[in-house]
Amino acid sequence: DGALSLDDDIRKYLPEMPDYGKPISIRNLVQHSSGVREYTEVMYLRGVADEDT
């Protein structure tokens, strides 16, 4: 039916995500319990300025 499940591993839809050693579900992302940092913080830590993105 094409619907996604909140319990699907995000790598099913974003295969470029690194393997963190355990599946991260869409539910984890929605509930902010995945442990994945906010992308702007990650970009800052990598030295990429907002105007660079």
pLDDT band of residue 21 (cuts 50, 70, 90) is confident
Asked if residues 29 and 36 have their Cβ atoms less than 8 Å apart, the reply is: yes
pLDDT of 43 strictly over 70: no
The pLDDT value given to residue 52 = 53
Amino acid at 25: S
Cα distance between residue 47 and residue 25, in whole Å: 28
**Residue 16 CB-density burial (10 A; 0-12 exposed, 13-18 middle, 19+ buried):** exposed
CA 43 remoteness from chain centre: 14
pLDDT cut 70: percent of the chain above it: 68
Average pLDDT over residues 2-23: 87
The pLDDT value given to residue 51 = 63
Cα distance between residue 24 and residue 27, in whole Å: 8
